[in-house]
């Protein structure tokens, strides 16, 4: 089995650091709701962005949530369809999130979320004013309760009877790539993208 639960803290950190969109699971009237939202992680806390327009996020502070971050690395093509699989890295974080109300912590948390999606923007763009800060919902979830699963490598049926079938087997890799920045059409030509966005 090349699919493994990982228990090292570094594995959790690596999966969380590799993305900025999570799937937030909440229970609304007894039924599950899964919504994508942006997040950022520090050493001990996962901050995620809410919106007062999303009822599930308004309810989230009062109940347990499950935040899942998944990176799909490839399709595992085996000799048999039964052994077909996916190479992936996934982290689930459980707990009851805490709404961030303190202004300083909110700014610090938003900085973490922003920097994870677009490093350098916190120093470059206009920071939230008081009104915007009040209109922004930010939740904090401890990283104490988490699980990580990772699958890597080739299919599992190389030493099975199916190897004699003479079929190709391996991995079809998938990668997320970042393209060149696309300027807002409303932007004057004189404004070039800053260096930190070209490195992105």
How many Cα neighbours within 13 Å face the side chain of 73? 16
Residue 196 Cβ vs a copy of itself, minimum distance, rounded to whole Å: 10
Q: Which is nearer to a copy of itself, 7 or 32 (CB)?
A: 32
Cα-based distances in Å from 107 to 24, 41, 137: 21, 14, 11
Residue 131 Cβ vs a copy of itself, minimum distance, rounded to whole Å: 9
Closest CA to 42 of 103, 89, 105: 105
The pair of structure tokens assigned to 36 is 């994508």
Q: Which is nearer to a copy of itself, 65 or 140 (CB)?
A: 65
Q: Which is nearer to a copy of itself, 9 or 124 (CB)?
A: 124
In this structure, is the dihedral angle defined by the CA atoms of residues 128, 129, 132 and 134, taken in order, positive or negative?
Answer: positive
Residue 79 Cβ vs a copy of itself, minimum distance, rounded to whole Å: 6
Residue 95 Cβ vs a copy of itself, minimum distance, rounded to whole Å: 10
Q: Which residues of 185-198 are buried (b: 16+ CB within 10 A; e: fewer)?
A: eeeeeeeeeeeebe
**Cα distance between residue 34 and residue 40, in whole Å:** 18
Residue 195 Cβ vs a copy of itself, minimum distance, rounded to whole Å: 11
């Amino acid at each position: 089995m090349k699919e493994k639960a990982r228990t090292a803290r570094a594995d959790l950190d690596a999966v969380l650091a590799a993305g900025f969109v999570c799937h937030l699971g909440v229970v609304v009237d007894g039924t599950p709701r899964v919504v994508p939202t942006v997040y950022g992680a520090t050493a001990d806390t996962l901050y995620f962005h809410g919106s007062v327009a999303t009822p599930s996020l308004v309810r989230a502070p009062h109940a347990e949530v499950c935040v899942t971050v998944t990176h799909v690395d490839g399709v595992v093509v085996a000799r048999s369809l039964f052994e077909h699989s996916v190479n992936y890295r996934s982290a689930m974080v459980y707990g009851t999130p805490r709404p961030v109300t303190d202004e300083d912590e909110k700014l610090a948390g938003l900085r973490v979320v922003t920097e994870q999606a677009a490093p350098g923007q916190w120093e470059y763009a206009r920071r939230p004013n008081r009104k915007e800060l009040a209109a922004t919902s930010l939740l904090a979830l401890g990283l104490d309760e988490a699980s990580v699963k990772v699958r890597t490598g080739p299919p599992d049926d190389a030493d099975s009877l199916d190897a004699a079938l003479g079929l190709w087997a391996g991995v079809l890799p998938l990668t997320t790539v970042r393209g060149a920045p696309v300027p807002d059409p409303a932007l004057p030509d004189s404004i070039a993208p800053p260096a930190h966005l070209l490195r992105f």
